[in-house]
Structure 1
Amino acid sequence: MLSLALISAGPADDGRWYAGGYSFSDELGGFRILSVNGSGTRDDPIEIQEQLNLATPVTLVIRGANPSRLDATEQTGVHFRIVTVNRSGLGWIGFGFELQEIRGKPSDFDDGLSFGQTNPNPDFISSNRFQRFESRFESYDRLSFEDGHVDPLDLAAFGFFVTDMTPVPEFYLVQDPRIPSS
């Protein structure tokens, strides 16, 4: 039997990365996952290191890898830390995240998926490059970071808490680097 440390050291045979009862995939393109580790607690968030090759929205596919994740006792949420290398060739002046239970359709109140709507603690949201954030719960679940920048080849780190009160086997995290308009 493989240890969890070995599984999270690189993608599994199916191309997915595993950590904290979830699998993570860059299968929709535009970015590449470099590593995934962590259990999903506040002290040990699931950390996804990635590089974004475009300055357009990209979508991370998240699947429940552990059936016990769907138990009622597991519905409290998971802490994430996204560490992104800007390989787009353009500077970013903002960055947004959007949760989707159905790909292409923003999460709404009824799906139970949110950036901690049941516990909107601002201490759970962070960035090393942006000074301000705004959470929008309705009519979609978005988290926008502003007042900062990420130059090409620099790293940006983001922390947030995701709750899913009616868990489904698959959901999506859209990541949207914002560039200056001309």
Structure 2
Amino acid sequence: MTRCLRIPAALLSLSLISAGPADDGRWYAGDYSFSDELGGFRILSIKGSGTAIDPIEISEELYTVNPVTLVMRAAKPLESLKFPEGAFHLRVVTRNKSGLGWIGFDFELQEIRGKPSDFYDGLSFDQMNPNPDFISSDRFAHFENHFESADMLRFDDGHVDPMDRAAFGFFITDLTPVPEFYLVEDPRVPSS
């Protein structure tokens, strides 16, 4: 192999090595790390910086119809975040490996695991300046943004069959940033 060909091959192998989670099991993008450590789903890849034109995109597989929790952490000291407050655009692309069709999907933010985020903790889907243009789904035509008694996005008017994918986009803000917070993902199935 000539010297010119060895350099691109070495660069390609380095990019493949860095495409997965770090040694601590976390995936890094923008100013944050993301983890599937609480189970029920698996992160496949993460990319992006968190801006409107380059959102952090998480590709994942969900194995259950029960809620799963994505753990998000500041990857550097809070005072060095790009925005005065923690803020980033997020796109979640999830494959339905639960075996049941979904007729809706909910996302809920939590600053303390298991406790719904409220108005006073500063964490929200951009509660201070809600912009519906920042909220999207390729599989659900309608969404509702609930700020109280929890910060929740509810998507409906659509479906996701088993093994299909759905994409969701939204903007997360934390006016009083904390080093760790949670995004609960809850697929909804028809009741029997």
TM-score (norm 2): 0.89
Q: What is the alpha-carbon distance in structure 1 between the residues aligned to residue 17 and residue 84 of structure 2? A: 22
* Partner of residue 30, structure 2: 20
For residues 109-149 of structure 1, the C-alpha deviation after alignment (integer angstroms, 9 at most, x for no partner) is 11000001122000000000000000001121000000000
Q: What is the alpha-carbon distance in structure 2 between the residues aligned to residue 113 and residue 6 of structure 1? A: 34
- Pairing partner for 1:108 from 112, 115, 118: 118
User: Could you say which structure has the larger radius of gyration?
Assistant: 2
Structure 2 counterpart of 1:104, one-letter code: G
Change (3 A) 1:169 1:25: same
Map 1:8-87 to 2 at 5 A. Answer: 9-68=19-78, 73-75=83-85, 77-87=87-97
Following TM superposition, the consecutive aligned residue runs of length 4 or more in structure 1 with deviations greater than 2 angstroms are 5-8, 68-74
State the SS of the aligned residue for 2:120: helix
Residues 7 and 18 in structure 1, CA contact (< 8 A), matched pair in contact too = no
* Partner of residue 119, structure 1: 129
Q: What is the alpha-carbon distance in structure 1 between the residues aligned to residue 120 and residue 17 of structure 2? A: 34
Q: What is the alpha-carbon distance in structure 1 between the residues aligned to residue 178 and residue 23 of structure 2? A: 23
Q: What is the alpha-carbon distance in structure 2 between the residues aligned to residue 14 and residue 76 of structure 1? A: 22
For residues 82-129 of structure 1, the C-alpha deviation after alignment (integer angstroms, 9 at most, x for no partner) is 000000000000000000000000000110000011220000000000
Q: What is the alpha-carbon distance in structure 1 between the residues aligned to residue 71 and residue 176 of structure 2? A: 17
Q: What is the alpha-carbon distance in structure 1 between the residues aligned to residue 118 and residue 79 of structure 2? A: 21
Q: What is the alpha-carbon distance in structure 2 between the residues aligned to residue 181 and residue 76 of structure 1? A: 37
Residues 68 and 74 in structure 1, CA contact (< 8 A), matched pair in contact too = no
State the SS of the aligned residue for 2:46: strand
Residues 94 and 165 in structure 2, CA contact (< 8 A), matched pair in contact too = yes
Q: What is the alpha-carbon distance in structure 1 between the residues aligned to residue 80 and residue 113 of structure 2? A: 20
* Superposition deviation, residue 164 in structure 1: 0.3
* Partner of residue 95, structure 1: 105
Q: What is the RMSD computed on CA atoms of the aligned residues?
A: 1.7
Unaligned runs of 5+ in 1: none
Overall identity of the aligned pairs, in %: 72
The size of the alignment, in residue pairs, is: 179
Map 1:118-157 to 2 at 5 A. Answer: 118-157=128-167
Unaligned runs of 5+ in 2: 1-14
* Partner of residue 163, structure 1: 173
